[in-house]
Amino acid sequence: MGSDSFFFDSTYTDANGEYEISQGTFPSDQAFDMSFEDIDGAQNGSFQALDTIVEFVDPQFTGGSGNWDSGETETIFNVELKE
């Protein structure tokens, strides 16, 4: 199985620092290049940007119809930026 990469525009965290990204693609191994940056400047402290890759390897799907709809899969990815 190959690995696909996808481009997302921007998403922002809520007041608790949580975010969600959805992507509708064929169920396979996938890699997502992600960049995290502090956009409010020194208001809440200054933090270094982070570039990383989030991978789905052999994703397990739930809730699908059993036909073309394989359902959905998710991962929890915690990020902590350094000051």
pLDDT digits (tens, 9 = 90+) for 62-80: 888 878 888 888 888 888 8
Greatest Cα-to-Cα distance within the chain, rounded to the nearest angstrom: 51
Q: What are residue 36's phi and psi, to 5 degrees?
A: -125, 135
What domain count does the chain have? 1
Position 69 in a domain? yes
Q: Is residue 66 part of a domain?
A: yes
What whole-number distance in Å separates Cα of residue 3 and Cα of residue 6?
10
What pTM was computed for the model? Answer: 0.61
Domain extent at residue 23 = 1-77
pLDDT in tens, 19-69: 777 777 666 788 888 888 888 878 878 889 999 888 888 888 888 887 888
What does the pLDDT read at residue 3? Answer: 42
Has residue 82 been placed in a domain? no
* The residue to which tokens 């809440």 are assigned: 44
